[in-house]
Amino acid sequence: MDSKISIKDLSKSYGDVQALKGINLDIESGELFGLIGPDGAGKTSLFRLLATLLLPDSGSATLCGFDMVKEYKPIRNILGYMPGRFSLYQDLSVLENLNFFATVFDTRIEDNMEMIRDIWLQIEPFKHRLAGKLSGGMKQKLALCCALIHQPKILLLDEPTTGVDVVSRSEFWQMLKSLKAKGVTIIVATPYMDEANLCERVALMQDGEILSLNTPAGIISDFGRDLYAIQGKDIYQLLLDLRTYPHANSVFPFGQSIHYTDKRDAISPSELKDYLISKGQYDIEISKITAGIEDCFMALSQQNKVQA
């Protein structure tokens, strides 16, 4: 069955705050799609609209061909939704939670084993533990399991890996990959830029707008400039010095180094190094690197702000 999502001019405001500003987006059947953006970008609002929990101010969207507003009932049957906050019953055990959601969707755990086996095998040892006593990663796996119990065609995951340790995060993404192989259309929201590379296509969102929509590789190749990582002894002073450099285009701290782009097309690193040494910096290392999604996001959001 065709489980496309198409969103047209979707807008939503809460009082004076415009959470979504005319979003247009088409997501293909069976795609693993990422919504990347910081808190407040509008990801959760978009999810709640698609999950038929909110009504749009204007615009429309269809899921599997059903209209989000008028045909919300059939949508609720084919949709798996995992809210950003852990929303299962903490005073019920793993098994009780799963059984409850199975009954709600008129199904049984056994009938859906094929769908949830990979995840179930990981949480089964804790099946009699109360959900509230699980670790963060386990909670998210259980929530995913509950969202999958009725074999949804479309899966909406709002920041499923926030607050989850690195190992569990990569396990979680493995699960999404295998779900995608089963033909489920998946939209994942995440504030982690590194997770973008795991999606087929991503939309970079900020302030209720989509800044860029492409494959992760496409977004990176759109990054037009040469990117340099600069390291030094005093990162903070280095940052200030770089920002006062007349040719500087963008300067962002990035872990233990600073990512730098220049306004000129061709630059000589030695010239930059000389400038920094004249500013009193020492032990300077400058190396050319390929941009990551986060660099693209920073560049795009800066452009966006300049335009606005």
Partner 1 sequence: MLKGHYSFTIILKITMKRFIGFIKKEFYHIFRDKRSMLILFGMPIVQLLLFGFVITNDLKDVKMAVVDHSKDEYTLEIINKITSSGYFKLVENLDGIAQVDEIFRKGETKVVLVFEPDFGKNLVKGSHASVQLLTDASEPNMANMEVNYLQGILQNYNVEINRGKRVPNQIVPQTRMYFNAELESVYMFIPGIMATILMLVSAMMTSISIAREKELGTMEILLVSPLQPWQIILGKVTPYLVLSFINALVIVGMGYFVFGVPVLGSFVLLMAESVLFILLALSLGIFISTVSDSQQVAMMLSMFALMLPTILLSGFIFPLRNMPLPLQILSNIIPPRWFIVIIKNIMLKGTGFEFVWKETLILIGMTAGLIALSVKKFKIRLE
Q: Work out whether 106 is an interface residue with partner 1 (CB under 8 A).
A: yes
Among 44, 158, 146, smallest CA distance to 89 is for 146
Distance CA 182, CA 203 (A): 23
User: Cβ of residue 240: shortest distance to partner 1, in angstroms?
Assistant: 43
In whole angstroms, the minimum distance from the beta carbon of 76 to partner 1 comes to: 5
Q: Which C-beta is closer to partner 1: that of 7 or that of 146?
A: 146
Rounded Cα gap, residues 297 and 276, in angstroms? 27
Q: How many CB atoms lie within 10 A of CB 109?
A: 15
Give the contacts of 294 (CB within 8 A, at least 6 positions apart). Answer: 193, 194, 254
Per-position x/- string for 114-153, each x denoting binding to partner 1 as judged by CB under 8 A, each - no binding: --------------------------------x-------
Q: Are 10 and 60 in contact (CB under 8 A)?
A: yes
Stretch that binds partner 1, among 25-33, 34-42, 101-109, 189-197 (CB under 8 A): 101-109
How far, in Å, are 90, 118, 227, 283 from residue 266 at the CA level? 58, 50, 11, 23
| 22: Cα separation from own chain's centroid | 19
Q: 53 to 82, contacts with partner 1 by CB under 8 A?
A: 53-55, 72-73, 76-77, 79, 81
Tell me if 42 contacts partner 1 by CB under 8 A.
no
103 forms part of the interface with partner 1 (CB under 8 A) = yes
Tell the smallest beta-carbon distance from residue 107 to partner 1 (Å).
10
Judge whether 196 and 202 are in contact, CB under 8 Å.
yes
Would you say 44 or 257 has its CB closer to partner 1? 44
DSSP 3-state of 245: coil
Which of residues 67, 96, 118, 226 is near partner 1 by CB under 8 A? 96
Based on the shown chain and the rule CB under 8 A, indicate whether residue 290 belongs to the binding site for partner 1.
Answer: no
Site residues (vs partner 1, CB under 8 A): 48, 51-55, 72-73, 76-77, 79, 81, 83, 85-92, 96, 99-101, 103-106, 146
